[in-house]
């Protein structure tokens, strides 16, 4: 559900703007997306900072919203006040922090389309508005990820190395995100953009690879192999193994042994 309350685009305040939810009767409880097309003061960790034109910020619901333009200068922006229960919004990795999108015209046009659609059919369940929002948030999320990938790259590489060396550890997204001091949603976005796979699928991939080695080079039982690879439940281990390899652990072991024996017989015949 996305309920557009107020929206607009390319609107110019000739004498500037000062928006503060502590002095107006509405806005505190809503989400607010502001795309400033001219310089503006937005909040940051260092207080109010002057941001250049084409800076965007997503203010979360139930938070103080405050921004203003340089005194006496005209100010132009696109904006959307809205209510939502969509996880794509609540999981956005950079809320309440201004940043510059990589393609300002693309963002502006999406916000304009959302505003147009809201004027035609402002229904909270309107799938067109949801799809446009999804495109908008996805693009902004990729911009945030690109902005932080270089910063977090060494930590991400160390995390992946730890997963590869010890996939049997009880990995969770929360545990991994805590190690980088970022949100789970932000970690998942950075990890996928950096390595082309989600962090938990990477864990599973490494666990299955470890299981394949153990099935081939040890005589341990299937349940024991599963436990050594981080699975407490043998049925769960077998399901994930089949999903990734197309075979059950037992079938994989039998087939791998048959292939090994055929290769051995072939080498003996050729004298290798």
Average pLDDT over residues 112-139: 92
Give me the pLDDT at residue 24, please: 66
Q: Are 202 and 110 in contact (CB under 8 A)?
A: no
Average pLDDT over residues 180-206: 85
Average pLDDT over residues 235-254: 93
Which homologous superfamily is 201-270 in?
Homeodomain-like (1.10.10.60)
On the CB side of 113, CA atoms within 13 Å amount to: 15
pLDDT band at 97 (very low <50, low <70, confident <90, very high): confident
Give me the pLDDT at residue 233, please: 94
Average pLDDT over residues 98-109: 92
Give me the pLDDT at residue 193, please: 75
Domain locations along the chain: 2-143, 201-270
Which of 2-16, 87-101, 208-222 bottoms out in mean pLDDT, i.e. has the lowest?
Answer: 87-101
Average pLDDT over residues 45-71: 89
Sheet with 31-36, side-by-side order of all strands:
2-13, 75-84, 31-36, 55-59
Tokens of 143: 């911009």
Average pLDDT over residues 52-60: 93
Q: Could you give the percent of the chain with pLDDT greater than 90? A: 59
CA-wise closest residue to 47 among 66, 69, 63: 66
Count CB neighbours of 58 within 10 A.
20
Count CB neighbours of 156 within 10 A.
21
Most confident of 17-31, 61-75, 181-195, 251-265: 61-75
Secondary-structure class of domain 2-143 per CATH:
mainly beta
Q: Which residues of 84-104 are buried (b: 16+ CB within 10 A; e: fewer)?
A: bebebbebbbbbeebbebeee
The pLDDT tens digits for 14-50 are: 999 999 988 766 678 899 999 999 999 998 766 888 9
Give me the pLDDT at residue 221, please: 95
Give me the pLDDT at residue 255, please: 87
Residue 146 confidence (pLDDT) above 60: yes
> What integer best gives the mean pLDDT of the chain?
88
Q: Could you give the percent of the chain with pLDDT greater than 70? A: 92
Cα–Cα distance for residue pair 150/129, rounded to 1 Å: 33
CA-wise closest residue to 237 among 156, 172, 168: 168
């Amino acid at each position: 559900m996305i309920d557009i309350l107020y929206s607009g685009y390319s609107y110019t305040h000739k004498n500037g703007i000062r928006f503060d939810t502590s002095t107006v009767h509405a806005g505190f409880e809503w989400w607010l997306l502001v795309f400033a097309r001219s310089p503006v003061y937005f909040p940051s960790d260092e207080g109010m900072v002057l941001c250049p034109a084409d800076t965007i910020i997503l203010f979360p619901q139930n938070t103080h919203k405050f921004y203003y333009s340089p005194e006496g200068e005209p100010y132009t922006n696109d904006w959307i006040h809205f209510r939502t229960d969509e996880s794509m919004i609540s999981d956005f990795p950079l809320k309440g922090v201004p940043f510059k999108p990589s393609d300002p015209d693309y963002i502006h046009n999406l916000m304009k389309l959302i505003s147009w659609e809201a004027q035609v059919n402002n229904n909270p369940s309107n799938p067109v508005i949801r799809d446009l929002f999804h495109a908008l948030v996805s693009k902004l999320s990729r911009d945030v990820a690109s902005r932080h990938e270089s910063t977090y790259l060494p930590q991400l590489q160390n995390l992946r190395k730890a997963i590869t060396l010890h996939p049997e550890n009880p990995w969770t997204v929360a545990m991994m995100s805590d190690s980088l001091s970022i949100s789970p949603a932000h970690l998942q976005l950075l990890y996928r953009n950096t390595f082309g796979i989600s962090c938990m699928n990477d864990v599973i991939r490494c666990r299955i690879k470890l299981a394949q080695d153990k099935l081939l080079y040890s005589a341990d039982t299937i349940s024991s192999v599963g436990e050594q690879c981080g699975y407490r439940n043998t049925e769960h281990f077998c399901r994930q193994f089949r999903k990734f390899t197309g075979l059950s652990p037992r079938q994989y072991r039998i087939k791998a042994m048959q292939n090994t024996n055929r290769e051995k017989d072939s080498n003996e015949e050729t004298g290798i």
